[in-house]
Amino acid sequence: MFKSSKSGNGKINPDTTDTLIGEGTIFEGKIKSEASIRIEGSIIGDIMSSGDVIVGENGVANSNIIARDLVLAGQLNGDVEARGKLTICASGVLNGNITAQSLIIESGGVFNGSSKMAASPAPAAQSQKELKATS
C-alpha cells in the first residue's frame, strides 16, 4: 500500500522526501529524519535531517535547522546549519544566523543575520596530503 523509501541495504535514501508538513497544518515539536522534509504549513521546533529541507512559499518555520541542503521559499525564524547549499528564493525570508558551504540569495530574497561559510573538509585534507607528498 505504501512505497518503501528504504533501499535494499535497509538505509533510507536522503534524496527522497519522506516527511511533508502540509499547508494548513501546524506542527509543534522536534523532527529528526534520515530523508528529506518539505514544509508547506507551519512548524515550531527544531529540525534535523540527513537529507534536504524545503520550506515552500506558504511554509513558516520557527526552528533551528540542520540539514544537507536547505531551500527557503517561505519564512524561517531560526538558525541554519547546512552541510551543503542554502538557497533563499525570491519569496524567502530568513531571520537567523547561518553556517553553510554555499549560499545563494535570489533577487528579492531576504536574509537578516550573520553567515559563516564552512569549508569543505575533503579538499583541505587532500591538499594537506599533496603538500606532504611534495615535501
Residue 16 is predicted with a pLDDT of: 60
Percentage with pLDDT > 90 across the chain: 70
Residue 19 is predicted with a pLDDT of: 85
Residue 127 is predicted with a pLDDT of: 46
Domain boundaries of the chain, sorted by first residue = 17-111
- Amino acid sitting at position 51: G
- 18 close to 34: Cβ distance less than 8 angstroms: yes
Residue 124 is predicted with a pLDDT of: 45
pLDDT in tens, 5-51: 444 455 555 566 578 999 999 999 999 998 899 999 999 999 999 99
